[in-house]
């Protein structure tokens, strides 16, 4: 494929897909180890009510208020889950399910009741995003990467995903040690003076940041898949956390690239005319990778010592 | 709650009296739901001693330790560590939680677990230097686990896991060691290794407090006992407090007389 | 008008759907209780998301075979098959790899759902307009439903409820105490599978009404609500079924009356409203009740500790304790006991001494087990027993009882 076709049409969606996948997979490692994998599921469902409320309040479809709305909804859901869990003494899984369905229902209802049909805001978009449309029309070839005028025309989603990824990396870099400590041995971490509760909430908020930025570009289905599948597959590859994180990045990148390529060109190879959903395909590829690791990866079985 | 109270009363006479004690607990009450598991307990640990906390199952032994460390929130009461509120004395405490409290399937190596003990020294971002690794290796050596440094923790036996936890505590280079059931479910060799390390800590002038469940070894392992069954039942040197009367009171007649006879108790 | 909807006077289809949804709501509430008690509430999330590829494949097969592709029973059959496969994947991943159940659930739900989306886009390219209606499975839609579809939902709801009613005894036994259930000859593994199958049936039948994202709520929220009102499994099943049925009935009726109001979200929000009321106001487990009890309890603890400190002449440092004693007129501002304070303190100390004897004496073992530092000894022992103990303490020791 020539640069003239690839750079404007495929480079940016693929790049955004890759960055979003990595931004979600990184905090996903800790969520999976903390048995909070489904927090990612909950967060990605509540993003919809967040952007609907933001739209109703501001009356415009703009990135900034919608991102704020989504982040606000993520915060509300985390607080709500914790409150229901503690105040009602309810197991976390049920509290999560209760929270995200209620918020999602609110979002759908608001959407149906308000006059949003004219704007590009609908549930399907929220679920599968539209990665394919994030093209870079100002580009004419590889040379455009050095052309400031063309660069100014990059889709804004790219910038937001980059910022989210940097934020995620900064958080993990800064708090790596206390995160590992509190994930492995919470009471020891507390005895060391680590504020484990606050750190846990911070982790979820960082995951929410990644989810919101990724959601904007790729829809919530990728978000859930990337929070859970690459880290889970990576866990089966190694017994060291540093290596697990590295593997999860590899798997996330692989899912995004292969998923995008299969979605765009797979149907053509098979003789069909149209491309299929890239978001759905990326999630599917990540599932295939997980299936492979579950069958063949070196550390797929539990090793735990016999309980004494 | 306990922290603020302790901070407010900085220079009360009582605090001065307790200033020397590595761990002084006052009026500690902890409840899960509506049932106090620890009720109004006072405890004063003597410096340089080895104290066993003993009592029946569910008597609040572990809870007392956790409350002293601020891991569970007490309903009332406070703990002073070397005469200071917990917050400013954490670096002087090393804690060994119950082995079963963590997920041993966590993807990490033995040496990494020991390095966790250096967290206060390393902070968030300080780089790991060769001397840190050397220190961690030395701690592993003290518990006889040198050969296991690069193993995944899930591959260890129960006794080996306990030794790794002890090595992590050693890496903290603390003055007060709090251990929660260190001998639970470990093999005889591990038990011997652990008690040797604890005794060497004591001869270095450190203070050791351990939740303990095996009455037959109290006399040979420890020099002081603290008997608890929700309330404090007795406290003192093994020779004075480890009596059949106190044990009967603590265990509420749940110990068979034959059992008690074998314990070489102090004359009550 | 809304009243008409609630009383089923809005036409044949709407009535069928409302009845079907209500039956389904009851079945969901009951089934969900067992899921909740087995701590597997979120498995339903995997079940529901995993239906999507089945819907897509069933549609494509029906079209390939020359059919319409939109026959509800065919689509629901496809949904059932694929979510069953999803369930098998969850249990395979948790049993044969080191992944925990939550990760397995999340992986299955996202991957199946993603694959389903891929299939939906494939269907869209098969011919414009034909896929219309499949999106209805995401969020549910009862508007413009055909008579046959309504019949499938009503019939399916009734059958599921019937199955739940027949199986409620062994399921209750299992939820309450798996080991006992096993000893009574119930195959725990198979019964768990039955619960899953029922949850799957509820999900599949509810797909068209509530949509696959929100059907989870029908299985999760009613049991959580019911938990606030009772400690008994059988009552919980009953209350949960009631809540589920009520929410579904209101939701289906409301959206029959106002087609702009989507059924699924209304059902979920009605359910949530019931939950919220329970969370706040339930007599024993509600927030208000728990808070009041905690405050009272904390006061009792501080009061007791304060009295014991007074009796033993120890100074009291905690401000809260001091304030409580003062307010009760038991001590002065400087922490010195008043007369009544001294009397109460002496009584507290004497009770402590009594407890000490009780707990050391094997004869009182069952009474001693009730000791928690706060319980009045009079509530545990008879007057005779207490005087017997007092004799053992010896002498009045200057203590008023």
Question: Domain residue spans in chain A?
Answer: 3-218
CATH superfamily of C2-261: ABC transporter involved in vitamin B12 uptake, BtuC (1.10.3470.10)
What b/e readout covers A137-164, taking b as 16+ CB neighbours within 10 angstroms? eebeeeebeeeeebeeebbebbebbeeb
- Pairing mode of beta strands B35-45, B84-85: unpaired
pLDDT digits (tens), chain C, 401 positions: 567 766 766 677 778 878 888 988 998 999 999 999 888 888 999 999 999 999 999 998 988 887 777 788 888 999 999 999 999 999 999 988 999 999 999 999 999 999 998 898 888 777 645 555 677 777 777 666 677 777 888 888 888 889 888 888 888 888 878 888 888 888 888 888 888 999 999 999 888 888 888 889 999 999 999 999 998 888 899 999 999 999 999 888 887 777 677 888 889 999 999 999 999 998 888 888 888 988 888 888 888 888 888 887 777 777 788 888 888 888 887 778 888 888 888 888 888 888 877 777 777 777 777 777 777 777 778 888 888 888 877 655 444 44
pLDDT beyond 60 at B11 = no
What's the confidence (pLDDT) of residue C49?
92
pLDDT beyond 70 at B81 = yes
Q: What is the pLDDT of residues A215-225, one digit of tens each?
A: 877 888 888 99
Nearest to B235 by CA among B58, B73, B21: B21
Distances (CA, A) of B92 to A193, B176, C178: 12, 6, 46
pLDDT beyond 70 at B143 = yes
Residue C224 to residue A87, Cβ atoms within 8 A = no
Q: What is the pLDDT of residues B40-67, one digit of tens each?
A: 899 999 999 999 999 988 889 999 999 9
Task: Using CA coordinates, name the residue in chain B closest to C364.
Answer: B252
Q: What is the pLDDT of residues A240-271, one digit of tens each?
A: 999 999 999 999 999 999 999 998 887 777 76
- Pairing mode of beta strands B76-81, B23-32: antiparallel
- What does the mean pLDDT of chain B come to? 85
Tokens coding C357: 């004897």
What's the confidence (pLDDT) of residue A305?
38
pLDDT beyond 70 at B256 = no
Which 8-state DSSP code applies to residue B233? E
- What does the mean pLDDT of chain A come to? 86
Residue A38 to residue C105, Cβ atoms within 8 A = yes
Q: How far is B246 from chain A (nearest CA, A)?
A: 31
Q: How far is B7 from chain C (nearest CA, A)?
A: 12
Give the orientation angle of helix A92-113 with respect to helix C215-227, to 10 degrees: 130
**Torsion-angle region of B60 (φ positive above 0: left; ψ -120 to 50: alpha; else: beta):** left
R_g (Cα) of chain C, nearest Å? 30
Query: Higher pLDDT residue, A150 or B101?
Result: B101
Angle, CA A37 vertex, CA A216 and CA A215 arms, to 5°? 5
What is the Cα–Cα distance from C293 to C302, expressed in whole angstroms?
14
- Pairing mode of beta strands B50-54, B76-81: unpaired
B contact residues 229-248, partner C, Cβ 8 Å cutoff: 229-231, 245, 248
Name the band, by pLDDT with cuts 50, 70 and 90, for residue A185. Answer: very high
CATH class of the domain comprising A3-218: mainly alpha
Q: Does A100 contact B at CB distance below 8 Å?
A: no
**Cβ distance C221 to A101 under 8 Å?**
yes
Average of per-residue pLDDT across B250-264: 68
Task: Using CA coordinates, name the residue in chain A closest to B63.
Answer: A187
Torsion of CA A168, A171, A176, A182, to 10 degrees: -100
What is the Cα–Cα distance from A21 to C61, expressed in whole angstroms?
33
What's the confidence (pLDDT) of residue C143?
62
Residues making up chain C, counted from first to last? 401
Tokens coding C42: 């979120």
> Hey, how many other C-beta atoms are within 10 angstroms of the C-beta on C356?
16
Residue A178 to residue B106, Cβ atoms within 8 A = no
Lowest mean pLDDT among A132-141, B66-75, B232-241, C56-65: A132-141
Minimum-distance CB partner of C110 among A95, A96, A221:
A221
pLDDT beyond 90 at A166 = yes
C contact residues 289-328, partner B, Cβ 8 Å cutoff: 293, 297-298, 301-302, 304-305, 308-309, 315, 317-321
Q: How far is A145 from chain C (nearest CA, A)?
A: 32
> Hey, how many other C-beta atoms are within 10 angstroms of the C-beta on C288?
12
Q: What's the sign of the alpha-carbon dihedral C204, C210, C214, C215?
A: negative
Q: What is the pLDDT of residues A61-81, one digit of tens each?
A: 777 788 888 888 888 998 899
What's the confidence (pLDDT) of residue A17?
92
Distance of CA C330 to the CA centre of its chain: 45
What's the confidence (pLDDT) of residue B193?
93
Name the band, by pLDDT with cuts 50, 70 and 90, for residue A10. Answer: confident
Name the band, by pLDDT with cuts 50, 70 and 90, for residue A285. Answer: very high
What's the confidence (pLDDT) of residue C336?
80
pLDDT beyond 90 at B197 = yes
Q: What is the pLDDT of residues B148-185, one digit of tens each?
A: 999 999 889 999 999 999 999 999 999 999 999 999 88
Query: Higher pLDDT residue, C70 or B209?
Result: B209
pLDDT beyond 50 at B1 = no
What is the Cα–Cα distance from A267 to A288, expressed in whole angstroms?
18
Measured between beta carbons, the chain A residues lying within 8 angstroms of B168 are 188
Name the band, by pLDDT with cuts 50, 70 and 90, for residue A177. Answer: very high
pLDDT beyond 50 at B9 = no
**Cβ distance C83 to C54 under 8 Å?**
yes
Query: Higher pLDDT residue, A138 or C183?
Result: C183
Distance of CA A189 to the CA centre of its chain: 28
Average of per-residue pLDDT across A175-189: 94
Task: Using CA coordinates, name the residue in chain B closest to C358.
Answer: B252
What is the Cα–Cα distance from B75 to C299, expressed in whole angstroms?
10
**Domain range list for chain C:** 2-261, 288-393
Q: How far is B107 from chain C (nearest CA, A)?
A: 11
Query: Higher pLDDT residue, B194 or C65?
Result: B194
Q: How far is A124 from chain B (nearest CA, A)?
A: 38
- Which of A150-164, B82-96, B244-258, C117-131 has maximum average pLDDT? B82-96
Domains annotated for chain B, with CATH where assigned, are 2-103+175-261 (3.40.50.300)
Bridge partners of B23?
B45, B81
Measured between beta carbons, the chain B residues lying within 8 angstroms of A192 are 90, 95, 119-120
Tokens coding C384: 């005779």
Tokens coding B98: 């119950």
Q: What is the pLDDT of residues A18-66, one digit of tens each?
A: 999 999 999 999 999 998 888 888 888 888 888 888 888 887 777 778 8
C contact residues 48-67, partner A, Cβ 8 Å cutoff: none
């Amino acid at each position: 494929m020539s640069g003239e076709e690839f750079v404007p049409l495929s480079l940016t969606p693929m790049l955004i897909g890759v960055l979003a996948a990595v931004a979600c997979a990184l905090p996903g490692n800790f969520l999976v180890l903390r048995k909070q994998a489904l927090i990612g599921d909950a967060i990605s469902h509540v993003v919809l009510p967040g952007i609907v409320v933001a739209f109703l309040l501001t009356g415009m479809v703009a990135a900034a208020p919608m991102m704020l709305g989504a982040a606000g909804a993520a915060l509300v859901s985390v607080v709500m889950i914790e409150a229901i869990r503690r105040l009602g003494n309810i197991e976390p899984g049920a509290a999560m399910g209760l929270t995200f369905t209620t918020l999602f229902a609110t979002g759908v209802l608001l959407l149906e009741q308000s006059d949003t049909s004219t704007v590009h805001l609908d549930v399907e978009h929220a679920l599968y995003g539209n990665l394919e449309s994030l093209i870079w029309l100002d580009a004419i070839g590889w040379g455009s990467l050095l052309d400031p005028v063309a660069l100014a025309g990059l889709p804004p989603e790219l910038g937001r995903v980059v910022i989210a990824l940097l934020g995620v990396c900064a958080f993990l870099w800064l708090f790596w040690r206390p995160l590992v400590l509190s994930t492995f041995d919470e009471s020891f971490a507390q005895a060391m003076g680590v504020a484990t509760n606050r750190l846990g909430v911070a982790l979820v908020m960082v995951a929410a940041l990644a989810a919101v930025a990724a959601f904007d570009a790729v829809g919530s289905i990728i978000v859930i898949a990337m929070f859970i599948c690459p880290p889970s597959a990576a866990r089966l590859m190694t017994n060291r956390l540093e290596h697990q994180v590295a593997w999860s990045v590899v798997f996330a990148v692989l899912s995004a690239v292969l998923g995008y390529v299969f979605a765009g060109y797979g149907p053509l190879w098979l003789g069909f005319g149209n491309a299929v959903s890239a978001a759905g395909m990326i999630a599917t590829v990540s599932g295939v990778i997980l299936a492979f690791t579950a069958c063949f990866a070196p550390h797929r079985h539990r090793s735990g010592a016999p309980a004494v | 709650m306990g922290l603020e109270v302790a901070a407010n009363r900085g220079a009360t006479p009582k605090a001065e009296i307790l200033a020397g004690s590595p761990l002084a607990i006052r009026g500690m009450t902890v409840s899960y739901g509506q049932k106090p598991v620890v009720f109004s307990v006072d405890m004063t640990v003597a410096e340089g001693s080895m104290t066993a906390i003993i009592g029946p199952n569910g008597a609040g032994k572990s809870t007392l330790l956790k409350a002293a460390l601020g891991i569970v929130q007490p309903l009332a009461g406070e703990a002073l560590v070397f005469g200071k509120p917990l917050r400013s004395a954490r670096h002087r405490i090393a804690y060994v939680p119950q082995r079963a409290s963590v997920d041993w399937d966590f993807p990490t190596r033995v040496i990494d677990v020991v390095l966790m003990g250096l967290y206060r020294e390393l902070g968030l971002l300080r780089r790991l230097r060769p001397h840190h690794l050397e220190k961690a290796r030395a701690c592993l050596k003290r518990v006889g686990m040198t050969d296991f440094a690069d193993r995944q923790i899930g591959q260890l036996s129960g006794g080996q896991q306990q030794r790794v936890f002890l090595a992590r505590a050693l890496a903290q280079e603390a003055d007060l060691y709090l251990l929660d059931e260190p001998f639970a479910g470990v093999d005889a060799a591990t038990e011997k290794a652990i008690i040797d390390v604890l005794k060497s800590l004591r001869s270095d002038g450190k203070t050791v407090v351990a939740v303990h469940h095996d009455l037959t070894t109290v006399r040979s392992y420890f020099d002081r006992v603290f008997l608890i069954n929700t309330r404090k039942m007795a406290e003192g040197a093994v020779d004075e407090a480890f009596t059949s009367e106190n044990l009967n009171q603590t265990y509420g007649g749940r110990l068979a007389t034959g059992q008690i006879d074998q314990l070489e108790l102090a004359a009550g | 008008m809304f009243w008409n909807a609630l009383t089923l006077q809005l036409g044949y289809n709407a009535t069928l759907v409302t009845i079907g949804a209500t039956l389904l709501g009851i079945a969901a509430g009951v089934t969900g209780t067992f899921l909740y008690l087995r701590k597997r509430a979120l498995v339903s999330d995997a079940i529901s998301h995993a239906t999507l590829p089945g819907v897509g494949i069933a549609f494509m097969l029906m079209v390939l075979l020359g059919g319409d592709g939109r026959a509800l029973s065919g689509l629901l059959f496809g949904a059932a098959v694929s979510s069953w496969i999803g369930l098998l994947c969850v249990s395979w991943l948790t049993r044969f790899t080191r992944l925990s159940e939550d990760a397995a659930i999340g992986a299955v739900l996202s991957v199946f759902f993603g694959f389903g989306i891929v299939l939906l886009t494939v269907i869209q390219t098969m011919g414009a307009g034909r896929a219309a209606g499949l999106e209805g499975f995401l969020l549910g839609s009862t508007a413009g439903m055909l008579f046959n579809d309504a019949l499938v939902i009503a019939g399916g709801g009734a059958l599921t409820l019937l199955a739940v009613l027949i199986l409620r005894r062994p399921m209750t036994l299992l939820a309450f105490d798996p080991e006992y259930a096993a000893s009574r000859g119930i195959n725990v593994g198979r019964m768990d599978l039955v619960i899953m199958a029922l949850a799957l049936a509820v999900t599949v039948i509810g797909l068209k009404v509530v949509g696959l994202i929100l059907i989870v709520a029908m299985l999760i929220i009613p049991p959580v609500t019911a938990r606030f009102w009772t400690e008994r499994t059988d009552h919980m099943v009953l209350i949960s079924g009631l809540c589920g049925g009520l929410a579904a009935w209101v939701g289906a009726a409301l959206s029959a009356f106002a087609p702009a109001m989507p059924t699924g979200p209304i059902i979920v929000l009605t359910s949530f409203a019931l939950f919220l009321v329970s969370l706040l106001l339930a007599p024993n487990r509600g927030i208000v009740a728990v808070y009041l009890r905690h405050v009272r309890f904390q006061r009792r603890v501080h009061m007791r500790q304060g009295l014991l400190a007074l009796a033993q002449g120890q100074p009291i440092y905690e401000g809260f304790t001091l304030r409580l004693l003062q307010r009760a007129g038991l001590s002065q501002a400087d922490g010195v006991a008043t007369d009544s304070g001294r009397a109460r303190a002496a009584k507290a100390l004497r009770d402590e001494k009594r407890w000490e004897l009780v707990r050391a004496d094997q004869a009182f073992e069952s009474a001693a087990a009730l000791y928690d530092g706060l319980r009045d000894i009079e509530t545990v022992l008879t007057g005779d027993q207490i005087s017997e103990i007092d004799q053992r303490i010896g002498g009045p020791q200057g203590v008023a009882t």
